[in-house]
Amino acid sequence: MPTPKALPLILSTRQQALLEHIASRTTNSYSLVTRAKLILGAARGVNNTALSQQLQLHRRRVRMWRQRWLEAGEQLATAEAEQVSDKRLRNMIEKILSDESRPGTPKFFKVEQVVQIVALACEDPKKIKTFSKSLDTKRVSTRSVGTRDCREDFSPQRRAFFKRRRLYNLIVIVTG
């Protein structure tokens, strides 16, 4: 059974020049350059399978970016009709070819809990046997922390705990 033929992309000379400029710049991100090359190849009439092999992408990725460009075609045509500057048009193209924002992981701790952890990390461990029950954590080493710069004397267990919770860098910033 034959696969459906991809819709052709039609680029204006201005769009093509800007995409070639984006694809040739070494300071652009790899993903942006790859996507610009993908759109240029699609405009030349190369099919999705050949583009995926050439750019080492999955065929679904090629289809997705081709579809995204087609959806933004009207927006680009309007911008060109209004004769926006090349810089603004390039920014629009880069925005179309950029990743959509993702929600990320939920936060582990509330701000108040982070402040408690930082304060607790710099206290004398002889006074502290466990972290607060509200933080749902396990026992931590009672190695001496000292008063000069607490992050230098973190025990490996404390360092591992804070790195797992992505708090070590925060503690370095707060105490440093």
Residue 66 and residue 118 in one domain: no
Q: Which domain holds residue 37?
A: 13-96
Torsion sign across C-alpha atoms 20, 22, 24, 30: negative
Residue 24 and residue 80 in one domain: yes
Query: Average pLDDT for consecutive 10-residue bins of the chain (176 residues)?
Result: 74 92 91 93 90 91 91 90 91 89 73 74 59 42 40 62 56 48
Residue that the structure tokens 């991809």 belong to? 6
Question: Looking at 96, 131, 154, which one is the last position of a domain?
Answer: 96
pLDDT value at position 157?
Answer: 67
Contacts of residue 41, Cβ cutoff 8 Å, sequence gap at least 6: 50, 51, 54, 55
First to last CA, the chain: 65
Amino acid at 124: D
pLDDT value at position 167?
Answer: 55
Q: Is residue 51 part of a domain?
A: yes
Q: Is residue 105 part of a domain?
A: no
pLDDT value at position 124?
Answer: 61
pLDDT value at position 23?
Answer: 92
pLDDT value at position 173?
Answer: 47
Model confidence, pTM:
0.58
Question: Looking at 96, 128, 151, which one is the last position of a domain?
Answer: 96
**Number of domains within the chain:** 2
The candidate with the shortest Cα–Cα distance to 114, out of 132, 128, 130, is 132
* Residue 109 host element (H or E): none
Half-sphere exposure of 172 (CA within 13 A, CB side): 8
Q: Is residue 48 part of a domain?
A: yes
